């Protein structure tokens, strides 16, 4: 991807593309996505970076202009119509497909009725989460996890939601994003945590197996994964940039973790501004 003359690259923001590092302690590789453009970011560490919102927002699904972005990148009609924007995506245990009320049954069959993974991760401390099997390890890199361990495989997204609800009795499902960005994360023995939780929640797991079948919820003997990120300096104090309040964000790029850019002037969660048309210098 090349600039035309001295003109900045411009396009609607998408979630940053991330690839795991290759080799021992090699940092993940990031690319800024602007429409069809990909701008490698690791090479920009230590250099000035400027992002300017043009004031335009486009729905990431239908492409129509919208004054406000809903659910990280959708116009309001798509937000109300699409199954991927329904509340059951955030709370899979509330899936209502079997009630015949799924917004898009074919989409649900393609995305929700496939194997899902229940995992433990360490982004800012121990957390439990779920993801489609095909989304490993992207899910963990998006969260800024330094460690991750798949612990269970289930047949459907709803089943993963039931398991996650059970595990939330003993462990958080959230990331403290400020601690994650400050690098205040201590490595953990995820296998030991897994075994502890299996023991503590054995009755609940047995009940779920009785309901869904012994083969529907399968324990995994996976190897813990570790991730490193391209960070030169972690911020001591977190100051957040917001395009809605300040259309121009600029500073020296000091690091990238999760979906955040760390500048010497503050941090910005680019995923929050999916669909925003931005010019980059």
Where exactly are the structural domains of the chain? 9-73+230-280, 114-226
* C-alpha span between 115 and 108 (Å, rounded): 13
Q: How many helices (H) and strands (E) does the chain have?
A: 8, 13
**Residue 8 confidence (pLDDT):** 78
Helix (H, G, I), strand (E, B) or coil at 149: strand
| pTM metric for this prediction | 0.93
DSSP type of residue 231: B
Residue whose C-alpha is closest to residue 180's, from 139, 142, 132, 128: 142
**Residue 7 confidence (pLDDT):** 59
* C-alpha span between 149 and 136 (Å, rounded): 10
* C-alpha span between 127 and 269 (Å, rounded): 20
**Residue 262 confidence (pLDDT):** 98
* 78 Cβ neighbours under 8 A, 6+ residues apart: 59, 61, 62, 70, 85
For residue 249, the number of C-alpha atoms closer than 13 Å in the C-beta half-sphere is 27
* 133 Cβ neighbours under 8 A, 6+ residues apart: 114, 115, 116, 117, 153
Evaluate whether 76 touches 68 at the Cβ level (below 8 Å).
yes
* C-alpha span between 85 and 79 (Å, rounded): 5
DSSP 181-199: HHT------HHHHHHHHHH
Helix (H) or strand (E) holding 89: helix 87-90
Mean pLDDT by 10 residues, the chain (281 residues): 57 96 88 96 97 98 97 97 97 96 97 97 97 95 97 97 98 96 95 98 97 93 96 96 97 98 98 98 92
């Amino acid at each position: 991807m090349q600039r035309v003359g001295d003109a900045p690259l411009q396009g609607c923001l998408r979630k940053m593309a991330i690839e795991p590092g290759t080799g021992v302690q090699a940092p993940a590789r990031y690319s800024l996505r602007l429409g069809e453009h990909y701008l490698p970011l690791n090479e920009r560490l230590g250099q000035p970076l400027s992002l300017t919102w043009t004031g335009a927002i486009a729905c990431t699904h239908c492409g129509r202009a919208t004054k406000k972005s809903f659910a990280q990148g959708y116009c309001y009609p798509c937000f109300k119509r699409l199954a991927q924007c329904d509340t059951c995506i955030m709370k899979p245990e509330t899936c209502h497909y079997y009630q015949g009320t799924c917004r898009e049954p074919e989409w649900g069959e393609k995305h929700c009725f496939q194997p899902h993974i229940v995992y433990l991760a360490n982004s800012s401390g121990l957390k439990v989460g779920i993801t489609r099997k095909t989304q490993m390890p992207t899910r963990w890199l998006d969260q800024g996890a330094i460690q991750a361990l798949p612990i269970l495989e289930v047949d459907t997204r709803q089943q993963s939601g039931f398991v996650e609800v059970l595990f939330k009795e003993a462990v958080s499902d959230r990331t403290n994003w400020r601690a994650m960005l400050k690098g205040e994360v201590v490595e953990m023995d995820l296998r030991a945590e897994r075994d502890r939780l299996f023991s503590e929640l054995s009755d609940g797991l047995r009940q779920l197996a009785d309901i869904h079948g012994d083969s529907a919820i399968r324990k995994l003997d996976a190897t813990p994964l570790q991730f490193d990120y391209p960070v030169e300096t972690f911020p001591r104090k977190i100051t957040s940039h917001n395009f809605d309040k300040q259309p121009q964000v600029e500073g020296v790029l000091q690091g990238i973790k999760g979906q955040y850019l760390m500048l010497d002037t503050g941090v910005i969660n680019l995923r929050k501004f999916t669909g925003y048309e931005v010019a980059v210098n």
